[in-house]
Structure 1
């Protein structure tokens, strides 16, 4: 098949959406598909374009079997409000010529990744121009999240943005997202059941696995061999609720047997460094190279996944898959009834969002109970292997791609037998 992938984030970004889109493209190319990608130069989560890439020119490269074309964009130093919108719009406009050009390539599927939804009109147009299947994959409901997190404000702006989003979603042939609750939200926005596909993020269980030894990074960071390490690794953005983790860290600053590691970049990093960076039991570090990912995730005795309550079920944190795959214990902040709560609760600890005191108590209790940590780690690893393996998720996705291509070439389609509907029905049966 000929597959055109369109999204602002892509490899070599090591966290978030870019990691998954890059791995998907590489996997599809390895399976013999022709894959082309229109994206931006890597800038996330640091919010600056990584060397040797440039923000002001078009570039082309081959990466892991896929032909990757990068459009210029403007990257704000502080990604808030109007600046973030201008950032997204700059890529949407700059990538338009590339998408129109690749429409002449006549792909079978145009696969658009949101965020950013501002790309969606161009992706839909390119698909219509060449008769391709238009597929929109939603990693975050960014419009809902932007207003709930006060990134954007104003009732008129909100009504307008939601109306545009609803119109766009209904125009795509397929709309996928990463969890059952997010499928329900897409349906509430007017997407028909026949359009919906569950396409979860996956765990690279071969690349991330439990180590039988202590991670080398413990000595590198000057952490005592017997210290219990509490790790947060990933984007340091607004929706993560990292202020709560900072407060919990301050509450436990005198616990000499604990070591806190914040690993990543983003708008919230400066506040974390100001609050906790000078504490003797805290380290704030940059993301490690991709080849050190397993060492990093195995540095943790306890992974912590903070989350703002007002972001519940608008996003499903992608970092959770790696936490489970590492076989280390997880503490997540989530409300009962959310998918994050239901995913973590059988195999980790869950505390209320926004409650630093409860988080500190959970960290203290789990740090003192190595048997319980091992039990949670084993359960998370088993879940990752059984339900989140990359090959299983992507083989199912590939089956969807083949089905939609066959459907477009067939004059009569029995929609009751399409894999997309089977996945939706399966999600409905599981609640």
Structure 2
């Protein structure tokens, strides 16, 4: 018996290099490889730059990539993506989804974007033949507003209501961590029987280990310094001012360290402005997969940094790639939060309190000066990725979730 077809609705999709896009792309390929017919409806590549890439931007465009039909829809891309403009961006994609044609027997909506997913769920509810709906939760919006301090009471109330309705309307809610499952059940009223935990996985293809100095030579990075790399989005919740201040402190101490902020995002221009004159900090543009792997291999330490107050809204997607790279991690975050738990559970690095640049710098020193410690932490992270974050296990769990909805 053929496996059911799947329609994936996602604001982000490759070739976007970070955030949800690599996972949406990997899931579509994985389900297709397992025998599902998959079609994707998404936007034109615009993240994390928040600018539609050259060669894209048509009202609609259909591509066939490795047997997958990918339909791209033009939507509103704000710059900077804050407040009402961010909401308008999601709603504009949601309106396009409302009138879009999908083919799968099961629909998967990826959140973010919550508000586009809500409109897709609303349309599905009133179809003549409603289809089973899965909402894949990568971030919890209600928590995000509270933890980042964005939005007023009205915004928080509306967001909670929309998020609760959307998840309760879904036939299945797939979350990326057990703490997410507990939160949406306890706070948003989602039936626990309809919640499934499927952990994210590394989206990077298998590759041979790369020598650190060879990687640095290829990238033009110095081989005589401790290099600490933060890779990924530069947005509000990352609170990367902390890394800038750690680099400023390193300058004042004459420390033999270099911080690298790799990627793009809504806060990059601001960060570059406040970092003017700091010698021990570099900004590097987003890289394709091969060069991205080199950047991770070139690091002595890989950084996760979160704004003070951010605790449970998201599991940083960069951690899967960090663990896969077998490099030690320093996480500057809420020490009781979900990110800290993940790093500790993996035994992959050190955790320091968010918003304390001196503690961040000291943790980088501690790992950089102890090669045996660095090697042990990196190996532990890699083992955790292989044991807990396996891509084939995740694809199989998704295939079961899709098939079970039609056999129930």
TM-score normalised by the shorter chain: which range applies? Answer: over 0.9
Cα drift, residue 141 of structure 1: 0.9
Distance 1:164 1:127 in 2: 15
Counterpart for residue 195 of structure 1: 194
Distance 1:276 1:374 in 2: 31
Cα drift, residue 294 of structure 1: 1.3
Which one of 248, 251, 254 corresponds to residue 250 of structure 1?
Answer: 248
Does structure 1 conserve the Cα–Cα contact (< 8 Å) formed by 2:98 and 2:123? no
Does structure 1 conserve the Cα–Cα contact (< 8 Å) formed by 2:147 and 2:311? no
Cα distance, 1:321–1:195 mapped onto 2, change above 3 Å: same
Does structure 2 conserve the Cα–Cα contact (< 8 Å) formed by 1:41 and 1:70? yes
The Cα offsets for residues 32-62 of structure 1, whole Å up to 9 and x where unpaired, read as: 21101111101000110112111x5111111
Distance 1:213 1:261 in 2: 15
Does structure 2 conserve the Cα–Cα contact (< 8 Å) formed by 1:215 and 1:298? no
Q: 1:100-115 to 2 correspondence within 5 Å? A: 101-102=101-102, 105=103, 107-115=104-112
Counterpart for residue 382 of structure 1: 383
Counterpart for residue 180 of structure 1: 178
Q: Root-mean-square deviation (CA), in Å? A: 1.8
Distance 2:21 2:357 in 1: 30
The Cα offsets for residues 327-358 of structure 1, whole Å up to 9 and x where unpaired, read as: 11100123343232222123210001122221
Residues 240-249 or 289-298, more deviating: 289-298
TM-score by length of 2: 0.93
Counterpart for residue 157 of structure 1: 155
Cα drift, residue 282 of structure 1: 2.2
- The unaligned stretches of length 5 or more in structure 1 are 408-431
Q: 1:266-277 to 2 correspondence within 5 Å? A: 266-276=265-275
Q: 1:331-410 to 2 correspondence within 5 Å? A: 331-345=330-344, 346-407=347-408
Cα drift, residue 133 of structure 1: 1.1
- The unaligned stretches of length 5 or more in structure 2 are none
Counterpart for residue 20 of structure 2: 17
Counterpart for residue 219 of structure 1: 217
The Cα offsets for residues 211-254 of structure 1, whole Å up to 9 and x where unpaired, read as: 245343x2355432222210011000000111111111111124
Cα drift, residue 289 of structure 1: 1.6
TM-score by length of 1: 0.88
Counterpart for residue 299 of structure 1: 298
Which one of 16, 36, 44 corresponds to residue 39 of structure 2?
Answer: 36
Number of residue pairs the alignment of both structures matches: 399
Cα distance, 1:272–1:343 mapped onto 2, change above 3 Å: same
Cα distance, 1:213–1:333 mapped onto 2, change above 3 Å: closer
Cα distance, 1:256–1:357 mapped onto 2, change above 3 Å: closer
